[in-house]
Amino acid sequence: MTFDNSPQTAADPSQAVSKRKLHPHVDLQVDRSWFDELQQRIGKNGPWDDWTLYQLAMEAEEAKRVESFEELQCLKTLPAVEPMPHQISTASKVLHEMGGRAILADEVGLGKTIEAGLVLKEYMVRGLVRRALILVPASLVLQWVRELNQKFGISAVAQKKEHTWGYDVVVASIDTAKRDPHRERVLGTDYDLIIIDEAHKLKNKKTTNYQFATQLRKKYCLLLTATPIQNDLDELYNLITLLKPGQLGGQSEFAANFVVDKRLPKNEDQLQEALSTVMIRNRRGDGGIHFTRRFVKNIPLSLSPEEKALYDAVTGFVKERYDESGGDMSSMLSLVTLQREVCSSRDAVFLTLVNLFKKTSEDSPIRPKIWELVEKIKGIKANTKAEKAMELVKEMNEKVIIFTEYRATQEYLLQFFRSHDMMAVPYRGGMNRGKKDWMMDLFRGRAQVLIATEAGGEGINLQFCHHMINFDLPWNPMRVEQRIGRVHRLGQTEDVRIYNLCTLGTIEEHIVNLLHEKINLFELVIGELDHILERFEGGDSLEQRLAKALLESGNDQDLQRQLSMLGSSISQIREEVKSTGSNPYAPKPDLLIRTDRLGTEVNP
């Protein structure tokens, strides 16, 4: 574009047009040299640009074209992940309907991490997010970093040193972030997006974690939890207030409008409408969400004479203490643990007995009885369960996860497998973040066996493995499903095979029968199991009722009868839930009023 103020001198009219004085704000001259060059090339039949380069240029222009504002642009940039339809739908809803502030409350195993990654990536592609902070349990920090880097191409870093907070996308544990010297740095930063995983741990507004989270400065916010409410509607109010203050009014206003008691809502339609603007809940039963199958096999085992003698002696000892207490269950639950441990391994019960011996006064008549049990343990040279587990692992010839409730059993199994030239690695609570990730890498790359305590049932994803052995079963069905959920989740491409070891003639045999035959636990998904346990009235947890049946039964037949009655009542509840398809505490499925009376949080 040229502005020419020189006087008009040309005689040719066409020259006059180009030479006349131009008005600086009206007249424009367009450079047509490219057209003249094109005409010359056409006249000479070339030269032309390379056809491949032309195609690449066309592809680049196609990639930049935005056909709809509602369409997720980030999907074109994710070659390493293929999101499920419900995950894409969730991300779209967060962006376009919820203004980037939402509780992602999908049931366990449906991919809340993928949904959060989609939201983060989309905002980054659109230029709306540059700085992001992801707060997760310490054991999941590196898992999040891997997922964001490998699946979404987001350069996320794990927080380690003070300077790490300067990166654009940081993954850290909330316990680290809230401590000095990090606290001041984090609270002084304006974040475009904050993601908090396992957000149900913030449900109590009196905790330092909750107070810290309320002070974070953010434009967008995602809270991830499968259990936004556990035992109290106030927990739900606290989470939503953290996300969108004022969404449900003040605390007293919320209680007056929506709460009958702490677990029972009122004005459900209005509450549902208010929640639908901030919470998204996808369930396994929804259409289009498909999982591989799970196959369950119970493995009955006969104890050696020495092992059976120890079990009978421990059982007799526990029942004696119960009779002496006059039927006081509150003082007996710790002793019932002895009976559960003796079904696991001699090592587990040995440590408990030794500690009990040390705590018992020297003049107590119970002390020699405890030591008598310790002496019986010394005569046991083998572990029937461990030998069967080894046999199963060799038959599978694939990666296997072995779950146990007890640290001593885990240590024994590690030594047992290593003594048979098989590489096994542990995973348990108490390990620091680096060691947990190291164990996971060893299991993924080199070891055939991972031996995990209950800490392995929380948070981690193990879809690359599809064999699982329950060396001992928790009495809480939710914890069993938690274990299975580590491998039977979205991303699992193989059918999952679960093996339950149970010792005949012990309480374990009855527990397996109850969970498998009566509750049909292993065919249920976690949402259905929740509803059944919620309806389990009477004030006592299932674990307490099992312990009471065990202590009050006169013999094995009496125990079987009591557990059969318990199982029948649970089966009846299951049929009622199946026929009504609802939960009395949550008339609308998406309302998600969770009242797990067993007191166990169910984690993704």
Q: Is the pLDDT of residue 600 over 60?
A: no
Q: Is the pLDDT of residue 188 over 80?
A: yes
Nearest to 288 by CA among 92, 88, 135, 445: 88
Residue 596 belongs to some domain of the structure? no
Specify whether 459 is located in the same domain as 353.
Answer: no
Specify whether 218 is located in the same domain as 163.
Answer: yes
Residue 3 belongs to some domain of the structure? no
Largest CA distance in the chain: 130
Query: What is the share, in percent, of the chain residues with pLDDT greater than 90?
Result: 26
Specify whether 387 is located in the same domain as 348.
Answer: no
Q: Is the pLDDT of residue 4 over 80?
A: no
Tokens of 85: 């339809």
What's the confidence (pLDDT) of residue 66? Answer: 65
Calculate mean pLDDT across residues 427-455.
Answer: 86
This prediction has a pTM of 0.68
Specify whether 202 is located in the same domain as 81.
Answer: yes
Specify whether 531 is located in the same domain as 567.
Answer: yes
Residue 535 belongs to some domain of the structure? yes
Whole-number Å distance between alpha carbons of 127 and 387: 58
Calculate mean pLDDT across residues 392-415.
Answer: 93
Specify whether 50 is located in the same domain as 78.
Answer: no
Domain count, the chain: 4
What's the confidence (pLDDT) of residue 222? Answer: 94
Q: Which of 97-106, 114-123, 240-249, 306-315 has the lowest mean pLDDT?
A: 240-249
Specify whether 342 is located in the same domain as 213.
Answer: no
Q: Residue 578, Cα to own-chain centre: how many angstroms?
A: 26
- H helix count then E strand count, the chain: 24, 15
Q: Residue 457, Cα to own-chain centre: how many angstroms?
A: 9
Calculate mean pLDDT across residues 322-340.
Answer: 73
Binned at pLDDT 50, 70 and 90, residue 45 comes out as confident
What's the confidence (pLDDT) of residue 5? Answer: 47
- Which of 352, 378, 404 terminates a domain? The answer is 378
What's the confidence (pLDDT) of residue 172? Answer: 93
- 228 vs 115, more confident: 115
Tokens of 471: 């060396």
Binned at pLDDT 50, 70 and 90, residue 579 comes out as low
Cis check for the bond before 7: say yes or no (omega within 30 of 0).
Answer: no
Give the domain CATH number at 491.
3.40.50.300
Specify whether 367 is located in the same domain as 494.
Answer: no
Q: Is the pLDDT of residue 567 over 90?
A: no
Binned at pLDDT 50, 70 and 90, residue 254 comes out as confident
Q: Is the pLDDT of residue 279 over 70?
A: yes
What's the confidence (pLDDT) of residue 104? Answer: 92
Domain that holds residue 40: 13-64
- Which of 333, 362, 378 terminates a domain? The answer is 378
Q: Is the pLDDT of residue 250 over 70?
A: yes
Residue 603 belongs to some domain of the structure? no
Q: Is the pLDDT of residue 12 over 70?
A: no
Specify whether 228 is located in the same domain as 335.
Answer: no
Specify whether 202 is located in the same domain as 164.
Answer: yes
Residue 6 belongs to some domain of the structure? no
- Which of 358, 378, 398 terminates a domain? The answer is 378
Give the domain CATH number at 223.
3.40.50.10810
Tokens of 356: 């009990």
Could you report the per-residue pLDDT of 353-387, keeping only the tens digit for each? 988 888 888 888 888 898 999 888 988 888 999 99
End-to-end CA gap in the chain: 62
Residue 225 belongs to some domain of the structure? yes
Specify whether 431 is located in the same domain as 360.
Answer: no
Q: Is the pLDDT of residue 574 over 50?
A: yes
Whole-number Å distance between alpha carbons of 41 and 47: 6
Calculate mean pLDDT across residues 247-255.
Answer: 84
Whole-number Å distance between alpha carbons of 380 and 308: 10
Residue 8 belongs to some domain of the structure? no
Whole-number Å distance between alpha carbons of 516 and 493: 25
Beta strands, E only, 366-465:
400-403, 424-427, 449-452
What's the confidence (pLDDT) of residue 604? Answer: 30
Could you report the per-residue pLDDT of 533-563, keeping only the tens digit for each? 655 555 566 777 777 777 777 777 777 787 7
What's the confidence (pLDDT) of residue 601? Answer: 30
Binned at pLDDT 50, 70 and 90, residue 458 comes out as low
Binned at pLDDT 50, 70 and 90, residue 506 comes out as confident
Question: In whole numbers, what is the pLDDT of the chain averaged over residues?
Answer: 80
Q: Which of 7-11, 199-203, 282-286, 385-389 has the lowest mean pLDDT?
A: 7-11
Whole-number Å distance between alpha carbons of 248 and 84: 31
Nearest to 252 by CA among 241, 244, 243, 242: 241
Binned at pLDDT 50, 70 and 90, residue 518 comes out as low
Q: Which of 6-10, 35-39, 87-91 has the lowest mean pLDDT?
A: 6-10
Specify whether 330 is located in the same domain as 448.
Answer: no
Q: Is the pLDDT of residue 422 over 50?
A: yes
Q: Is the pLDDT of residue 20 over 90?
A: no
Whole-number Å distance between alpha carbons of 74 and 83: 11
Residue 432 belongs to some domain of the structure? yes
Q: Which of 41-55, 69-83, 364-378, 549-563 has the lowest mean pLDDT?
A: 549-563
Tokens of 287: 């259409």
What's the confidence (pLDDT) of residue 398? Answer: 93
Whole-number Å distance between alpha carbons of 583 and 529: 11
Cβ atoms of 318 and 551 closer than 8 Å = yes
What's the confidence (pLDDT) of residue 67? Answer: 67
Q: Which of 23-37, 126-140, 170-184 has the lowest mean pLDDT?
A: 23-37
Whole-number Å distance between alpha carbons of 197 and 459: 10
Calculate mean pLDDT across residues 117-126.
Answer: 93
